[in-house]
Amino acid sequence: MSTFTPSPRASTRRGRTWIWIGAIFIALLTVCLGCGGLFVAGVALLPGPTPVPPEPVASSTPAAAATEASTEAPTPATDTMTQVPFRAVVQIVALDEQNDPVWTGSGSIISPDGLILTNAHIALPTADDDVDAVSLLILVTEREDRPPQPRYFAEVLQADWDLDLAVLRVARDLQGRPVPTEGLNLPYLPLGSASELRLGDELVILGYPGIGGDTITLTKGEVAGFIEDPPYGPRAFIKTTATLAGGNSGGAALNARGELVAVPTRLGAGEDAEVVDCRVLVDTNHDGVVDERDACVPIGGFINALRPVDLAQPLVEAARQGRVARPTAAPSSRPTPTRGLEEIWRHPGPVLEQDALDTPTPGWTSDPDDPEARIRYADGAMYVTLLNPNFLHTFTTDLQIADVVVKIKARLVRPVEDGDFGLLCRYQDINTFYAAALTADGYYYIGKMEAGEFDFLSGLEPLPPEAAFEPTQWNEIGLICFGPHLALWVNDYPVALISDTSLRQPGDAGLFVGTLDHGDFEVAFDEFEVRAARR
């Protein structure tokens, strides 16, 4: 059993700033750049990808037009890029049931047999899309001075909303017949590595931004910096001075050797991911009017962000093996931990504190005559009872660490309507800490106490059914504090993720029990554990 330091901070009268002020959703929405217009100009979209009963395609006639346009597959350059590999960049048009385009974007062919790397929000509908796409039309770039030509329909093999990356595969020709990928021999881009990029390195961006005409567009810029995101490391995004616009999403960012090193993913690489100066100025969708349905035109003065291709490698490898793993729905308004945080949850660092809570813990006991709270041990667990209303009781360790995974098992013994219980991290004192909690009536929240004022960071929301919360049964609760990220897990299910940069300093970890208008609230705890949070 580890030793805990007694602290007079363990109990306090609960101020009214703790009162629930209503549900405040913090949604992690995928940033959409690829909606570069609702119509595609200069391209005669085919009448309909109505499914045709699959027919064997004769080996002598495999999509003849596409074969003629791609008989020579490029090989990776060894020194510097001497010819722009524009033919390996495609336009992707999402079609609805009436075969009308609903959004467009760009993609890069990354293998001669038809794998295409793009953004997840280009491959799949997001929560903001009013119309679902039923097919993805691939328009290939045959000439640099001509609009791309429709050649294939693609299917989604892999997609990751957190990374906003997806891998497609050429699947059918324009008549709906299966395409034999073995003989495609498409021009493709070799994959490089963003880990080799340095400040000032030149980047070439290729894509279909929806401005400046219907042909492929090239812009140049430099590596302007890098953006850290703890789940993905110090190069989660690459900042660039290259000009991008809606429709560039999913396209290619090439290094000097012509290797694909990143995917244009979002504009405005600042923390709020907003475009600094991008205005609707021209009729980009060619419907005869300039309105909100047209793509904004970058005016300048902002930094764009690219997603390093290194982060796409697991998706690409899985797609090459023919494995399919794609979200069945767009991101919901309920935030969920990223893959990086899930890895921390599954494989945390070394144990820092551990207590079975089956015998009295130094510093965690209470005075038998305390009029506010009682602590007792029975059946191998610690029972905490708040006798009076409007009270918060905390238990903290003697740790001083910022990045932790805290776990506890808990069950309600005597529930009350407004009782809550949960875990703490970066605890400075009773006026400064992060908290993740469950309520007696099946709600959850993540919040922070700062300067004595409590804010709900995640909102006060019902626990999803997947969390399998049973109030009077043992439930495992987990809290990850890692960099700016806070994630709540309930019974091994990721319930919520928020980001907040207010409290970054090391602090204690622990647990708490609180109530507002009702007393006689009892909760049992077991198997308390604190581990280091490491990627």
CATH at residue 233: 2.40.10.120
Q: 284: how many CB neighbours lie within 10 A of its CB?
A: 26
Residue 276 belongs to a domain:
yes
pTM of the model: 0.54
How far apart CA 432 and CA 415 sit, in angstroms, is: 27
Instruction: Show the beta-strand stretches assigned E in 387-520.
Output: 391-396, 404-414, 420-429, 432-439, 443-450, 453-456, 461-462, 475-482, 485-490, 493-499, 508-515
Domain count, the chain: 2
The predicted structure's pLDDT at residue 170: 95
Question: End of a domain among 332, 365, 398?
Answer: 332
Which range of residues forms the domain containing residue 156?
A: 78-332
Same domain, 258 and 309: yes
In this structure, the answer to whether residues 299 and 367 fall within a common structural domain is no
C-alpha closest to that of 94 among 54, 35, 52, 151: 35
First to last CA, the chain: 27
Q: Is 205 part of a structural domain of the chain? A: yes
The verdict on residue 496 lying in a domain is yes
Alpha helix positions (H), 215-364: 313-320, 339-346
User: What's the DSSP call for residue 311?
Assistant: G
CATH number of the domain where residue 14 is located: 2.60.120.560
d(CA 393, CA 383): 12
- Cβ count near 16 (within 10 Å): 8
Q: Are residues 347 and 328 in the same domain?
A: no
Same domain? For 350 and 319 the reply is no
> Residue 138: what pLDDT?
96
Which residue is associated with the tokens 């509908």?
A: 125
Specify if 33 maps to a domain: no
How much is the pLDDT for 233?
A: 84
Residue where a domain stops, chosen among 278, 312, 332: 332
Rounded to whole angstroms, the Cα distance separating 33 from 244 reads: 9
Q: Looking at the structure, do residues 275 and 320 belong to the same domain, yes or no? A: yes
Give the C-alpha separation, 480 to 497, whole Å.
9
Q: Tell which of 276, 311, 332 closes a domain.
A: 332
Q: Are residues 496 and 385 in the same domain?
A: yes
pLDDT at site 288: 61
Q: Please indicate, yes or no, whether residues 264 and 325 belong to a single structural domain of this protein.
A: yes
Q: CA-CA distance, 305 to 448, in Å (whole number)?
A: 30
- 328 and 346 inside one domain: no
Largest CA distance in the chain: 91
Residues 327 and 346 in one domain: no
Task: Compute the distance between CA of residue 218 and CA of residue 204 in angstroms, rounded to an integer.
Answer: 7
Residue 310 and residue 365 in one domain: no
- Residues of the chain with pLDDT below 50 are 1-79, 267-279, 281-282, 297-302, 333
pLDDT recorded at residue 263: 94
Q: Cα–chain-centroid distance for residue 77?
A: 33
205 and 319 in a single domain? The answer is yes
Residue 52 covered by a domain:
no
Which pLDDT does position 337 carry in this prediction?
A: 64
Record the tokens describing residue 487, joined without a space: 């994630």
Which H or E run includes 68? helix 64-68
In the structure encoding, which two tokens stand for residue 134, read together?
A: 């039923």
**pLDDT value at residue 318:** 92
- The reply to whether 372 falls in a domain is yes
Task: Give the CA distances from residue 111 to residues 184, 187, 320, in Å, rounded to whole numbers and listed in that order.
Answer: 10, 8, 9
Which pLDDT belongs to residue 71? 41
262 is a domain residue: yes
Give the C-alpha separation, 381 to 524, whole Å. 6
**515 in a domain, yes or no?**
yes
Report whether 418 contacts 513 (CB < 8 A). Answer: no
Domain co-membership, 359 together with 315: no
